[in-house]
Amino acid sequence: MNSVLVILLSTILLLCLKTYVDLRTALRAVNYHPGFKSFISCFGVFGFAFKEPRRGLIGGSLRFWHRKHLDFDEAGVDVIHHVSFFPRVSTCLILADPAVIKEVTSHRALFPKPLYHELRLWGGNIIASEGDEWKRHRKVGAPAFSEPNNRLVWNEAVKIMVDLFDNVALFVISVAGFGKNAFWQSDLLPPSGHKLSFKDAIHIVSVDMFIQVVTPTFLWKLAPTKRIADVKLGFEELEKYMLEMVEERRNAPKKEERYDLFSSLLDASDSDADGGARLTDRELLGNIFIFLLAGHETTAHSLAFTFGLLAMHQDYQEKLYQHVKSVIPDGRLPTYEEMDKLTECMAVFYETLRLFPPVVGVPKVVAENTTLVATDFTGKRRAIPVPACSDIHISILALHYNPRYWDEPHAFKPERFHGNWPRDAFLPFMAGPRACLGRRFFETEGIAILTVLVSRYKIELKDEPAFAHETYEERWDRLFTVKQGITLA
């Protein structure tokens, strides 16, 4: 018994000694650059599993939602070093310095992005690829985001919003006036050969994608629980719909001139068959899924935050309404050509993205030993050694709340986006060669929806007696508490 205890204590002692040596080595490698330490990292699987930070114990993936730029304020520099101990000593350089971020995003070969194998649900795509494979996906994907496509986005967004308002009024009068429920019934029934409607398939995949990612392959095939079986059916049905669309477009006897992303991606891939960039059907599905994930996720959540902010700030909502009326004084629907005149709408949208960026951080890895130079808050330049294979995290949240570039960073001030503003400190769409292809698509859709809604309706908070005595800060916390995850709703 004593021998077992001695062996156990010796093993623990050796592990502690190894951890200490690894820690000193890691700190020495970055020249003891300031930062913070925790037992469990902010990043990776454990960071996602233990979201809430606990000082010294849990880094927590929600750390920067809570602290914003505070870690950098305490360090006195906009580049900090994070060290974690479990399951092994690991280090990560976290960036909130626009100049350093620009250097990292501009040198794709030196600072590549780690591959997101989890997003290869249907096949390779522009997000889950690097190097020559990424170039091939980008060559095919970039032309899909064209000016005709942007015009289509605007026209359809306006049309859908008007249809939504008309249908809402119809549904209300149907129930309130005649006691009869009314819904979009045609969207609820699956077509022949399908078990789910397209809308239901998308909903299941978007809400429960994480289940597919974490479920082992053998369990996925067996589908032992109803939840897994339902999610599996959603994935199978969505894949079937997308394959049918590919087949339908390719075999159409008459080629129609279409500007939707699916058709444009298919046309670009087929037209480059001789140039070696043609995508396989699996890669087409992979990219369409990524466009769906990125496009709907960002717009839906960003608009939700925008409406909440306008409800909290009635004075600015009135200013926005008057601006919209000045651009379209006769009450007609806005046209795509007028989008660039709606500067106040864009300012509100950008301020929402600054306060609540859809992507809060971007990981990078270091391909070879290098050095980054940052200027601390006293004006002194610091050379930071960055060893090969180490991790880098671009903290978009900390950058967007950096008081060196944003006056009153916690305040809702859309006017900051008029005139000259620090563009390098605003990265909701990232920067460099891997910047978001769909930026204009996203902006067009969001501005169209916001313009039509504000021109017709006033956004207010529900008057609830339980919250009658809330302070501004309490209401803000109640409305804008965030949860981390991947959804499309």
What is the CA angle 239-293-217, rounded to 5?
50
Q: Map tokens 């660039």 to a residue.
A: 340
Check whether 436 is labelled as a binding-site residue. Answer: yes
Alpha-carbon gap, residue 236 to 132, rounded angstroms: 30
Which ranges of 330-470 would DSSP assign to H, the alpha helix? 343-355, 396-400, 439-456
Tell me the residue type at 465.
Answer: P
Quote the tokens at residue 288: 């369409």
Alpha-carbon gap, residue 367 to 304, rounded angstroms: 39
* Residue 74: C-alpha distances to residues 51, 71, 84, 458 (Å): 22, 5, 19, 42
- Beta strands at 35-40 and 370-375: parallel, antiparallel or unpaired: unpaired
Quote the tokens at residue 67: 């602290």
CB 344 within 8 Å of CB 313: no
CA-closest candidate to residue 131, choices 104, 160, 108: 108
3-class DSSP state of 252: coil
Tell me the residue type at 306.
Answer: T
The number of angstroms, rounded, from the C-alpha of 233 to the middle of its chain's C-alpha atoms is 26
Quote the tokens at residue 57: 């114990």
**What are residue 394's DSSP bridge partners?**
95, 362
Q: How many helices (H) and strands (E) does the chain have?
A: 17, 7
- Beta strands at 361-365 and 370-375: parallel, antiparallel or unpaired: unpaired
Residues annotated within a binding site for heme: 436
Residues annotated within a binding site: 436
